[in-house]
Structure 1
Amino acid sequence: ENCTKPLWDKRLQFSRNNSIFQQNVPLNLICPRGLKPPFPKVICAKELQQVISEKLVYEHAWWGKNKSAWTRIEGVIQCIAILKVGLGNFQISSTSIKLNWTCRFPGTCQDMRAMCRLAESSSRLCEAEEVKGEEILHGQEGTFTCSSLQPFTNYSVTISLPSSTVLFSWLFRTEETVPDKPEQLWLDRSSGSLRWKALPSCKGEIIGYQLNITVRSARDTGFLEMERLQVNGSITEHQLPEHDPGNSYMVSIQGLTAAGAGAASLWEFQTNSSDILHPLDFSCHSIHVISPSQGTAVLPLRPITSEGVREHQLVVATTHNGSVIKSTCLGQPQPSNNSQQPFNVSQQPSAYVAAVLNLTGPINFMLGNGTHGQGYHNTALQPGQDYMALLRLVRRSPQSEKFTCVCYSFSV
């Protein structure tokens, strides 16, 4: 009585390519290269299953031999990969690939060779050097690491036997890192647009550009405007706001990837026909109407913009140090009824918001008269103290923040 071929893994091959096999005749099992059967030898044998009406009922059962012992085979058997690489245990950074491996069949993984090779760069504009990551693996388990790789680049990792049988092959992409700084930045004087050369996606997909633009006025030395904005990665120009001829611009631009912002390129220029840069001095407007006994000073204020009624803040700092003007203008005050509410900027001296004003035209504002308004306190000025006051206008949109300040300085 013969045995029929079991419905096991289709990749399994018997030493005799038949559909029917004789009982008690050992057969060899063979798998494709890189795989092994759980039992190199199998045999079909008659086995008593039960007794029905005093009759013996037999069925065929398959047994497998591994090393020296025969084991009854339960269920379906399949070809098994010789090498196990934990896909969930990959550690990939922007410069390295690390993976753990385990040999499932001791004695078959001697002198395995692991190689790491450049597959392709992320862009034709990116030059990626070939790597020479190669290692002979020993033992039953271990770790293979490809190092000194380039970010955002595809690499293939292959582990093979000395017979060139490939046990593992996988394509990896290293993680992104921050991009290089933009190298080309210029002003298109005919259109008033700031332009730059697009960054290639060599260290990561360029998802945007971050710009910081500082404007100083040629006509008003106490005027300072700073804009922080982010544009899409496909955009390579930004229309500058209209200002008086001869204004000074300082621009920093950074590329953005998922890993963050890269190094900034800095550029300074003026909106005149000359390519020669004439540095503009920044100095606060002097205040002369001061009453030390009452702790007040009169500031001649006018709206920063003509775009209708806008909420202006009057920010006061106890200093004459001009180096803190930028940080004070960009600071984030918090509403409070305290006499002096510090900004959330640790580098600044004590600063507070004295008033919030909806300016529609020029006014003479009495600083230090002790009035309260919208949670802010116009506290009395202290005799013997140096002060700097900034009339500040903040405009925000989903993509940008613009801070415009006019500076006044005085001593009480």
Structure 2
Amino acid sequence: MYLLDTLREGLAELDSRGLRRHRRIAETACAAHMRVDGREIVGFASNDYLGLAAHPALAAAVAEGAERYGAGSGGSHLLGGHSRAHAQLEQTLAAFCGGFVDAPRALSFCTGYMANVATLTALAGRGTTLYSDALNHASLIDGARLSRADVQIYPHADTDALAAMLDASDAGVKLIVTDGVFSMDGNVAPLATLLALAERHGAWLVVDDAHGFGVLGPQGRGVVAELALRSPHLVYICTFGKAAGVAGAAVIAHETVIEWLVQRARAYIFTTASPPAVAHAVSASLELIRGDEGETRRAHLRALIERTRAMLRASHWQPVDSHTAIQPLVIGDNETTLALAARFDAEGLWVPAIRPPTVPVGTSRLRISLSAGHSFDDLARLENALSRIEAGGNA
């Protein structure tokens, strides 16, 4: 059949360029040590930065939430699906993360992707100019495209270039959009300068802190709190499927911004609310994140990060200067990157190969993702495998 043949040809082209993606099957809970595709491995692939995904307290909270609220929400947030668990989570989040703005309010979403698309399409539109960092996550890119705004891409973290673009703009509404921590490089956006530009030009600053929430800032309140930023121009987005160990996301901003999203964000209005049991578990996760256990886990993670940075600086390849749990090692071409990932896999280490279009062409990399669930013995195993691979020894 012609239509299937065109797809087969496209898949064959992906194969020829080393770009086809493959799923692996995890047979145990997400953790530093897992059983994947029938083998025991040490995983450096997940975003479970605090090692909470398999925490007994969160598993118990999911069960408790399901017992109290059932398996599903049954409807959209505006048509019966907004439970007491959702409301409590939003109130807690506004108090926990909303110190950057007067009258903070939070709005929960099923996924971070949905939160980003909802926010950008509701705040931007025809006649709006949206300024997006060149390395923003795909969800921000898609939200920008769907917003119908005039989208201008500024070079990664280049605030001088962005300032020139803003100076040249006569748009009535402007949005500056950035990751807080960039998911493939692990570096932190220059948020203080971005906020100064937003205030000077009367623009919104939308920060997707998917990889900073729970890890950075006092009590894990994220990158905005770490930098002690405060402004009504800020719109903060955090997700719960990474450091929080559960699922979902939230937008936190001035109460007027949130009310506008409730009225105009199609990705919020026209979808079934997440199961209340999930929101109940996220509330339990916040208790861990902001408590003594969360601080202990963040301290251990920081020590792991510094040890990994030293390890990668001594390698043959090019590490990215990251002070976060995302520790990339840039290899370059797709084939070599895939071959190295396979060598690590043979050693029982899951170190994923990241290739275009996720990263720019010529910058394929191994993305080492650290978790507080890792031990220094796990890092020693990774370092020994890296040394053998660099030396060309048998894997």
Tell me the TM-score normalised to structure 2 length.
Answer: 0.18
Structure in which a larger fraction of residues adopt strand: 1
Higher relative contact order (CA 8 A, sep 6+): 2
**Greater Cα radius of gyration, structure 1 or 2:** 1
Tell me the TM-score normalised to structure 1 length.
Answer: 0.17
